[in-house]
Amino acid sequence: MRFDKPAFTFEDQLDRLIERGMVVDDRAQALRYLEHLNYYRIGAYWLPFEADHGTHQFRDGTRFEDVLNLYVFDRALRLLVMDAIERV
């Protein structure tokens, strides 16, 4: 399989999110999270914030912090569920 998409740096990825309408208050923090979590992994959590899935434009007021909070909540919930399952 051949991949034709060019590789983007973390800076490029963040710039793309900003161009699509995402508000980023702390650029350095957002870059750290993109580096550690991966653009595509966290991308699943910004889908509900998209106004148009075709162009990937975000709704007005969409903040990187909101997307990150959704990811953190989901991660904590998954850990709690796995702990409960293990006990059963």
Average pLDDT over residues 37-66: 95
Q: How confident is the model at residue 1 (pLDDT cuts 50, 70, 90)?
A: confident
- Provide the number of structural domains found in the chain: 1
Is 67 within the bounds of a domain? yes
Is 69 within the bounds of a domain? yes
* C-alpha span between 35 and 9 (Å, rounded): 10
pLDDT of 69 over the 90 cut = yes
Write out the residue range of the structural domain in which residue 63 sits: 10-87
Is 5 within the bounds of a domain? no
Q: What is the pLDDT of residue 36?
A: 96
Is 75 within the bounds of a domain? yes
Is 53 within the bounds of a domain? yes
Is 3 within the bounds of a domain? no
* C-alpha span between 30 and 13 (Å, rounded): 10
